[in-house]
Amino acid sequence: MYRWMLTSDAMRKIIVVFLIICIQNGFTSPHQSYTNDTFHQSARPKQQQLFHTTSTENFELDYNSNDKEVINNALNRGPYFDTSASKNVTALVGKTAYLNCRIRNLGNRTVTWIRHRDLHLLTVDKTTYTSDQRFVSVHNPQMGDWSLQVRYPQRRDSGVYECQVSTTPPVAYSMILSVVEPVTTIHGSPDLYIDTGSTVNLTCIVRHLPEPPATIQWTHNNEEINYDSPRGGVSVITEKGEITTSYLLIQRAKISDSGKYTCTPSHANPQTVNVHVLNGY
Ligand SMILES: *[C@@H]1O[C@H](CO)[C@@H](O)[C@H](O)[C@H]1NC(C)=O
Ligand SMILES: *[C@@H]1O[C@H](CO)[C@@H](O)[C@H](O)[C@H]1NC(C)=O
Ligand SMILES: *[C@@H]1O[C@H](CO)[C@@H](O)[C@H](O)[C@H]1NC(C)=O
Ligand SMILES: *[C@@H]1O[C@H](CO)[C@@H](O)[C@H](O)[C@H]1NC(C)=O
């Protein structure tokens, strides 16, 4: 009994020692392998990430090539619009305007121009369909341009115009026409009375121009004013902007400075003022 107990006690000790060894081993070697595993695992997701990234790139490449394919198909299959030019066209009242529709791959399709406001059919290919003969379709085969010419444009012609190509379904390109009417005014017009010896200050203002006028010319009795004349004291100051102002200054006014002064901005209507230099005594 005692021996068994001893044996049993020894066995227990042996088992405990064995267990300790096992646990120690179990803690060391599995831990190492775990570390390696961790290393591998930490490496693997990286690789997976890399792979994933690569596959994403591949996907993007595929997507891009799909995109290219779509474009290529579009090139092969149908017309498309050259959108590089501005969709906004500003025109002056009365001055012929062009809405330019540049079409690639048109093939044998028909081009129509439609006024968006009332869906009025204006032109079909080179034929004007509306009774308003101011609308003409102008074709430039080299450039692939189908322009809508608007003769004598009025402010009411402002709006959206659509260039349509007869595919199924039709494709369209919208353009915006803004017809503006510049207004030129001169302060004190039509008649300005000035005392001899004082300074004549003529102020010409140009409004509603899409961009400032390149030049503003002044004339006196229809003759261009010479700012370097022996008379001297004549100068002009022009401030360009959304509103452009030109000041014509004539110092020490004389009777001979009287007469008709006209301000002529480029791309806008001229304006005239009659200056009366009076003896101020
Ligand atoms: C643990 O991984 C490293 C690097 O992969 C390797 O050099 C080492 O031999 C591995 N150790 C074990 C115990 O697997
Ligand atoms: C075109 O005109 C519209 C409306 O007048 C404006 O909102 C837009 O900014 C313009 N675009 C360009 C490129 O001028
Ligand atoms: C246009 O051309 C295509 C071939 O490119 C042809 O199938 C089609 O019938 C033509 N349409 C007209 C109206 O001529
Ligand atoms: C000319 O008149 C305008 C106002 O119309 C004024 O702003 C400007 O200062 C005047 N210039 C001179 C030199 O008197």
Which residue, judged by its Cα, is nearest atom 5 of ligand 4? 203
Which residue, judged by its Cα, is nearest atom 11 of ligand 1? 36
Better-predicted residue by pLDDT, 174 or 54: 174
**Ligand 3 geometric centre to CA of 107 (Å):** 8
Whether ligand 1 lies within 6 angstroms of the CB of 32 is answered as yes
pLDDT at residue 38 tops 70: no
pTM for the model stands at 0.55
Query: For the segment 225-261, what is each residue's pLDDT rounded down to a tens digit?
Result: 989 989 899 999 999 999 999 999 999 999 999 999 9
pLDDT at residue 109 tops 80: yes
CATH 2.60.40.10 fits 183-278, yes or no: yes
pLDDT of 60 reads 37
pLDDT of 189 reads 87
Of all ligands present, the nearest one to the C-alpha of 204 is 4
pLDDT of 120 reads 94
Residues pairing with 163 in the sheet: 113, 173
Q: Label residue 50 by pLDDT band (50, 70, 90).
A: very low
Query: For the segment 186-222, what is each residue's pLDDT rounded down to a tens digit?
Result: 999 899 999 999 999 999 999 988 789 999 999 999 9
pLDDT at residue 70 tops 60: no
Task: Locate the domains of the chain by residue range.
Answer: 44-77, 80-180, 183-278
Whether ligand 2 lies within 6 angstroms of the CB of 176 is answered as yes
pLDDT of 86 reads 82
**Ligand 2 geometric centre to CA of 120 (Å):** 23
Matching CATH topology for 80-180 and 183-278?
Answer: yes
- Range 78-83 average pLDDT: 88
pLDDT of 42 reads 36
What is the residue-averaged pLDDT of the chain? 80
CATH class of the domain whose range is 80-180:
mainly beta
Q: What is the largest CA-CA distance in the chain?
A: 155
Which of 75, 105, 108, 166 for a ligand 3 pocket mutation test, highest count of atoms within 8 Å of Cβ? Answer: 108
pLDDT of 243 reads 94
